Each structure stands twice: as structure tokens, then as C-alpha cells.
Structure 1
Amino acid sequence: MYAERPAPAGLACLWTRTVSSPTVQRVVPDGCTDLMWTPAAGALFVAGPDTEAQLASVAPGTLYGVRLPPGAFPSVFGVPAHAVRDQRVALPELVPSARLTSFTEVVEFCASRVVVDPALAATASLLRRADVASAAWEIGLSARQLRRRCLDAFGYPPKVLQRVLRFDTAVRLARNGMPFASVAAEAGYADQAHLAREVRALAGVPLGQLIRP
């Protein structure tokens, strides 16, 4: 069972996942990053930004997580997001001084370090609705500067970030019950076939299967 609850300012959400037997979970790109804690093992892992679906083996018990919004990773962990793209890294490898022994401490660690950068939020917002060249012009950056900003903050080059954000929007709309044709139009795809291709590329399964409870 998966559940989310509100998080302190600057964080996306807090979540738990509880399973009674070993299972495999499909994790799809959403532009976010997570710090995950397993109480039984005392293990803390950072999930970097993904470019494709990850199949994660989940052991019986409860896994606790803090989700960071897109662009927040460097402020919390002190390294550019692209350094851990498509990886799962033990927290001590990034922050050797971190000594966290409870989920409360995990949340406080993230909340005390996260920085909400309005410029990054504006960048993500523009890329949700504009092509990369138009976004760079509106922000006042060259294409090279925008690429560097996106790689450091989000872990992706601009076009990949745009694909991931658009995909995340589509999945949320579909899970809320919107017809797939409407999802394609609302999320900014050329048509439903384009939506289907992108979902398969990023999630590895069709949209209907992905959102199935």
C-alpha cells in the first residue's frame, strides 16, 4: 500500500510504501528525486532523476520517503542532479556527515537544506508549455546556458526535462479519470498516438496498464 501526506515547505510530499511480501515496483520518471529510508536496515538511499522506468525490488515492511520537487536536488545534496541520474545512491556517499536515525530526522534534514529557487520553478513552468528555444529566449539565457542550468538542477537536458514533465502531467490527468484523447491535448501532445508512444518510451508499458490500480 502506498500513501502520501503533506510535507514541510519546499518539499513535494512525504510518502510510505508498505508490502507484506517481496514485490517489484515500477517507478516512472516524474522530474522529482527522493530520499528513502528503510528502518529495518537503517539504510538511506537517494533516488536520482530517472529517464526511463525503473523496476525496484521492495522487501516486506515499510519504506519511508521524502520527495523533492524538480530542481531542488542540488540544494539538499550538494551535487548537480545529473551526477545521480538513473541511479540509487547511499546518502553517505553524497553527504558523509549525515547521521539520520529516524524518519523525523530524514524530513528535517531535507527541509532544513532545501532551497526553493523561483528561477528554476519558472524554467520548469515554461518548458511545460513552450519549446526549448522559446523558453530560453523568454528566460534570457542562451541555449547552452539553459542546458547547463537544466542538467545541474533537474538532471536532464532541456528537451528531456520537457518530455518528463509533459509525461508526468499526462499520467496525473489520466489517473484523475480524463479520457486519453483529452489527456493528449491537455498535456501538449500532437495527438493520442504521440501520447501512447511517449508513455511506452518513458514507462515501458501502455498508459492504461500504468494507471491501473
Structure 2
Amino acid sequence: MALRFEHRPTETDARLVDRVWRTTSDAEATMTSVARTCCHLIVTRTPGRLLVSLRGPETRATTAPVPPDAEFLGIRLTLGAVFRPHPATSIVDSHVSFPVTHSGQVVIGGTEWETPTYENVEQFVRRLRDAGLLVPSRLAGAELDRHRSTRTHQRHHRAVTGLSQTAVAQIDRANAAATMLRDGLDWRTVVDTLGYFDQAHLAHALRRFVGHTAGGLGTADEPTMSFLYKTDPRPGS
């Protein structure tokens, strides 16, 4: 089974949503869910069933089931954006499911909302923002506050994102490494570009955060993985 992802940026507030993606499955299987730093709102449509969940940051790669004949929509929130009443700190390595009505609406914050599609995500996000359910990240201003100590910055970062600054950097770097390897770059180039000590250091990071080593990426036999993408030309961004 191969999951082919389509993705795009959004025209809404960049402090709220980073990217939107979608894919479909053709058979029941499993996939590797790679570590991630941001929360994702996931809409899963299968014959006769609709599921909506908010997945938190994941600190390691895991194996996830994939139902057959499913359509997936993902809304990747910006790092630090808060989806009330479920802050990232409360769902690290976990998720929360939202009730869905018989008419196909999702209940968030006690209110029924039209379930978003790939085409109308912006409208959905604006409504949540206007209702105070989706709040912009509070990281940017705090990171620029030079009067705060390093320890205070670190505590604030973890309180907002659920992860330490070190964990975010490690996960982002491993995802960038996997993307570079899938693009056909040699592991030596990846090590030199991203600052890994050696091949063993890279392999350890890939196993922990991506679930696979360099040898399995960028080949015809590449395992099925959750969405990986890189939009910034700088490695690790």
C-alpha cells in the first residue's frame, strides 16, 4: 500500500495553520507514524463512518493502523498554536476524539461545526479562531524577550508546545534527514549538512523519530509512512 499525499499552504493566519494535506488508502494495512512537533486535526472518512480527532506532538515513531477505502484530511497547526480546550501539553503522544453528529457535523467546544474539507479549511479555521477555540502561538514574542533567562524561555516553550526546544530541534532535524534521503541524497551528505556526528548518530535518530534507517528510505521498497514534507530550502527548517 502506498499513501500519496497532496498538500498545500493555507491562506489563513500563519500563526494558526502551517499546512493542509490529504490522502486515501486502498487497502487495510499499517504505516509508520513519524514523530512530529505540531498538533494535527485529522478527519477520516470511511464508508459509513466519520472520525475527527486532534493528535498531539509525538516524541517517537509508532505503528498506526490504516483502514481500507479511507479518505484522510490533515490540518497541521503551527508550532505553539492552541486548540482549546486541548492544549498540546495534554495530548503529547496521545490524541482526543471529537463527537460527530448523525448529520456529519463535528462537535468542538460544545458547538456543532461543519466538518472541513480540503477545499474549505480556511473558512473552518477562521470560524474556530473567531470563536476563541483556535488561538495563535505565544512563542514568537516570548522568544524575542531578552529580559527572560534561558531557563524561563525553556519552561515557556514546553508549556506552550508540550516539548522542549531540544526535542523540537531533534525531531525537525530527523524529519529533514528523512526527506533528504528520500530525495536521493547520500547519507554522508545528510550527516554533513545537518550536523550529525556520523552515520551511527544519524541511524539512531532515524530509528527513534522516523522508524526506519537510511537504507530503507528513497527506494522502491520504502515503507509506508505518515506525511513528511519540507517547504523551506534550508535543511532542518
TM beyond 0.5: yes
Q: Which residue identity is paired with 2:111?
A: S
Cα 1:19–1:163 shift into 2, 3 Å: same
Residue 119 of structure 2 is aligned to residue 95 of structure 1: no
Cα 1:14–1:194 shift into 2, 3 Å: same
Task: Check the 8 A contact 2:184/2:218 in 1, yes or no.
Answer: no
Q: Which residue identity is paired with 1:65?
A: G
Task: Check the 8 A contact 1:203/1:210 in 2, yes or no.
Answer: no
Alignment length (residue pairs): 198
Higher radius of gyration, 1 or 2: 2
Unmatched 5+ stretches in structure 1: 124-135
Q: Which residue identity is paired with 1:62?
A: E
Q: Which residue identity is paired with 2:164?
A: P
Residue 67 of structure 2 is aligned to residue 59 of structure 1: yes
The partner residue of 1:172 within 170, 176, 179 is 179
CA distance in 1, matches of 2:180, 2:214: 11
Unmatched 5+ stretches in structure 2: 100-106, 223-237
Per the normalisation by structure 2, the TM-score is: 0.71
Residue 37 of structure 2 is aligned to residue 22 of structure 1: no
Instruction: State the Cα distance separating 1:6 from its structure 2 match.
Output: 1.4
Alpha-carbon displacement from aligned partner over 1:126-150 (angstroms, at most 9, x marks no partner): xxxxxxxxxx9x9553233222222
Per the normalisation by structure 1, the TM-score is: 0.77
Match of 2:151 in 1: 144
Cα 1:108–1:205 shift into 2, 3 Å: same
CA distance in 2, matches of 1:120, 1:155: 16
- Greater share of residues in strand: 2
- Greater share of residues in helix: 1
Q: How large is the Cα RMSD of the aligned pairs?
A: 2.9
Task: Check the 8 A contact 2:40/2:74 in 1, yes or no.
Answer: yes
Cα 1:208–1:149 shift into 2, 3 Å: farther
The partner residue of 1:34 within 18, 40, 58 is 40
* Identity score, percent: 26
CA distance in 1, matches of 2:40, 2:60: 16
